[in-house]
Structure 1
Amino acid sequence: MTPTPSHLTPAAATLLGEPALQRIEAIRSERWIAYPRAKQALAILQQLVAHPRTTRMPSLAIYGDSGMGKTMIMQRFRSEHPPVFDATAGVEQTLVLALQMTGRPSERRFFAQLLATAGAPRSSRCDIVELEQAAIRVLRTIGVKVLVIDEIHNILAGPHRDQRIILNTLRFLSNELSLSLVCLGVGDAREAIGGDIQLARRIDEMQLHRWVANEEFETLVALILRNLPLRKPSLLTARALRRVLQMTDGVSARIFRVLNELAIDAIVAGDEEITDEAVEHWRPVVERQAAFA
């Protein structure tokens, strides 16, 4: 049995025997990397699921610029708590229900979205009260403990009256069903949630700051490199790491994209490693194409 190369995770090492095109496809595919900041967020979210049902449930808001990994954390959290069929009750239990706030939310659209996400049919003739009662009934039946709302800052796109109604609705659902709320969004999300003081007081905050040159960033890069199926270890100096930060402005999604494209370049060129020189000379694909226009 061939031992796993020390510079790769077992999953990445299994790809080394694959042709270049398959390895490149794997690099471009969406994958989860458990870096410390994301693990911390997931640990807090797990505490919400495990928390005993009380009249005032703890909740969490995760703020961060676009591309800082909020949605990936939400998707990972949801995948760790998939729906499970309860044979005794005859229904599918869904501890974690996740949805994305619509671009211009209203009370009707929000309840309709809740029902659709929960897989419950509804009549287009239902009034607001019927939609509300149906949503409460369905969420209680399927056992939702945590309601996750991504892009919560979209609340601000609606009129002030609708904003207040949506926030009141979230607080009502949390009280009525003893469920925790998890809200994710950019910096404006704090303003959106702050529109309801009572709701804001019960929501803890976690900020996903942009990366800076420190040990935490070095750990992130090391974990990304261990998940790239290159045959040689990539040993980047502090200067190269600073260059990565400069090119990406410390945004998680851009950091992943730069390292992924560098890895693909290394496979295509046959180098099988990311070098300081490659980092120094790397340019976005769009700029490369523009150079030949």
Structure 2
Amino acid sequence: MRAIRSRRWVLYPRAKQALDHLNRLIDHPRGTRMPSIAVYGDSGMGKTTIMERFRDDNPSGFDPITGKERTPVMAMEMAGKPGERRFYAELLASLGAPQSPRADIVQMEQAALRLLKVVGVQVLVIDEVHNILAGSHRDQRIVLNTLRFLSNRLQISLVCFGVTDAREAISGDVQLARRFEEFSINRWGANEQFETLVSSILRNTPLRKPTVLTPKSLRRILQVTEGITANIFHMINCLAADAAQSGHERITDEAIENWRPLSDGGAAYA
């Protein structure tokens, strides 16, 4: 039961495409106008999971030549109501170097630049970038200018994750927006890719017997989950847990037909 409920990574085609795009940024030659990627999708489509996988695939490591710890990918979350101070505070906290409340913007900026350079950050990943829109127009412009400044000064790529509204947030700075390649993660439809996703999840579900589903059951899963990745994982995990407890050790078409979510917001993965 613990294995069924544990968080599991399932590599499906769209996630692999996203990771392939992101990993190309690591090997890109450094320059003054570094390429960047914006990943958009509805809540629950697996953006944060992809972000975490990208970060984990490029972990910090000790460089024996310089004698320093190197961090190729640095991840942070955009604050709920961002401004320049809050942005730098979040960035410095992600670097493990929170600043004194008395530090001014210039001190925080210089500390962030120094530390990002010291640890060798090549890609700065920003989750929940749509939160930029929660700030005033002035604060939005300042945060976007800050992102462009960091990319130019340190010759690093930016990767932004957010819901569709994030397009509006990034478009507030035309020069910055031109650097971003857009990558959309759309809801699942009734196609071969959806069947591949469900098959991959089932193969990674620790039941003792194999599960083979009919097209009707696949349509039912798609209908109940509304094509949202998090809901698909949640539904299959619940069905697998019920199968283990009942002793059936496989998910049946009947179980899928009778399954109902406890609530409308039953997503288990972001």
Q: Same fold (TM over 0.5)?
A: yes
Does 2:31 correspond to 1:54?
yes
Question: Unmatched 5+ residue regions in structure 2?
Answer: 265-270
Does 2:124 correspond to 1:147?
yes
Letter of the structure 1 residue corresponding to residue 236 of structure 2? L
Match of 1:18 in 2: none
Match of 1:243 in 2: 220
Deviation at 1:112, TM superposition (A): 1.4
Matches within 5 A, 1:234-273: 234-273=211-250
Indicate if the aligned counterparts of 2:89 and 2:98 stay in contact, CA closer than 8 A: no
Match of 2:267 in 1: none
Indicate if the aligned counterparts of 2:12 and 2:200 stay in contact, CA closer than 8 A: yes
- Quick one: distance in 2 between partners of 1:167 and 1:248? 35
Letter of the structure 2 residue corresponding to residue 272 of structure 1? E
Deviation at 1:250, TM superposition (A): 0.1
- Quick one: distance in 1 between partners of 2:244 and 2:57? 33
1:91 is matched with which residue: 46, 68, 81? Answer: 68
Does 2:168 correspond to 1:194?
no
1:100-154 deviation line (CA, Å, top 9, x unaligned): 1111111011111111111124232221111111111110111100000000000
Match of 1:20 in 2: none
Deviation at 1:53, TM superposition (A): 0.5
Question: What's the TM-score once normalised by structure 2's chain length?
Answer: 0.95
1:70 is matched with which residue: 44, 47, 66? Answer: 47
Deviation at 1:86, TM superposition (A): 2.4
- Quick one: distance in 2 between partners of 1:113 and 1:187? 23
Provide the aligned length of Structure 1 versus Structure 2: 264
Matches within 5 A, 1:118-197: 118-197=95-174
Match of 1:13 in 2: none
- Quick one: distance in 2 between partners of 1:286 and 1:101? 29
Indicate if the aligned counterparts of 2:77 and 2:129 stay in contact, CA closer than 8 A: yes
- Quick one: distance in 1 between partners of 2:231 and 2:18? 20
Match of 1:21 in 2: none
- Quick one: distance in 2 between partners of 1:47 and 1:114? 23
1:203-232 deviation line (CA, Å, top 9, x unaligned): 000000000000000000000000011111
1:50-95 deviation line (CA, Å, top 9, x unaligned): 1111111110000000000000000001111111122443331110
Match of 1:224 in 2: 201
1:165-223 deviation line (CA, Å, top 9, x unaligned): 00000011001100000000001000000111111111000000000000000000000
Does 2:260 correspond to 1:283?
yes
SS of match in other structure, 1:183: strand
1:22-62 deviation line (CA, Å, top 9, x unaligned): xx111111111111111111111100011111111110000
- Quick one: distance in 2 between partners of 1:114 and 1:285? 38
Letter of the structure 2 residue corresponding to residue 79 of structure 1? D
Letter of the structure 1 residue corresponding to residue 48 of structure 2? T
Among all aligned residue pairs of Structure 1 and Structure 2, give the percentage whose two residues are the same amino acid. 64
Deviation at 1:286, TM superposition (A): 4.6
Match of 2:268 in 1: none
| Bigger radius of gyration | 1
Match of 1:19 in 2: none
Does 2:85 correspond to 1:108?
yes
SS of match in other structure, 1:102: coil
Letter of the structure 1 residue corresponding to residue 197 of structure 2? L
Deviation at 1:233, TM superposition (A): 1.1
- Quick one: distance in 2 between partners of 1:263 and 1:46? 33
- Quick one: distance in 1 between partners of 2:119 and 2:189? 42
- Quick one: distance in 2 between partners of 1:27 and 1:271? 15
1:43 is matched with which residue: 13, 17, 20? Answer: 20
What root-mean-square deviation, in Å, do the aligned CA atoms of Structure 1 and Structure 2 show? 1.1
Match of 1:6 in 2: none
2:11 is matched with which residue: 34, 57, 76? Answer: 34
Deviation at 1:157, TM superposition (A): 0.5
Does 2:182 correspond to 1:205?
yes
